[in-house]
Amino acid sequence: KAGVTQTPRYLIKTRGQQVTLSCSPISGHRSVSWYQQTPGQGLQFLFEYFSETQRNKGNFPGRFSGRQFSNSRSEMNVSTLELGDSALYLCASSFTGTDMNTEAFFGQGTRLTVV
């Protein structure tokens, strides 16, 4: 079956702009989580969505937001981009996010560069 798909794979934006990243989870998965990966801070949790509701949120400013649609696809948005937002953004999906017998599957990520 198809894996987690993130689009686009690469993105270059200018400071002050906004950006929207997309994540299509594995069919049947209802939990989608987003992570930011940078060389300095490593992997940091942004937020998790389940059944169109944000279930958990990490420690990021309000410029970072997300949503989930009825088909479980998720988008994250970053407004007023800063140079420090340059990172690899990873999406992970799992069936429920709460069952230890199911695995979280990661996409290949979207590489965002802010110039």
Partner 1 sequence: GNSVTQMEGPVTLSEEAFLTINCTYTATGYPSLFWYVQYPGEGLQLLLKATKADDKGSNKGFEATYRKETTSFHLEKGSVQVSDSAVYFCALSDLYGGSQGNLIFGKGTKLSVKP
Nearer to partner 1, 13 or 58 (CB): 58
The yes or no reply on residue 25 touching partner 1 (CB under 8 A) is no
Exactly one of 18, 51, 56, 77 binds partner 1 (CB under 8 A); that residue is 56
| Cβ atoms of 12 and 113 closer than 8 Å | yes
Tokens of 64: 């970072």
Residue 80, burial from CB neighbour count under 10 angstroms (0-12, 13-18, 19+): exposed
Judged by the rule CB under 8 A, the positions of this chain that interact with partner 1 are 4, 31, 33, 35, 42-45, 48, 50, 55-56, 58, 90, 92, 94, 97-98, 100, 102-109
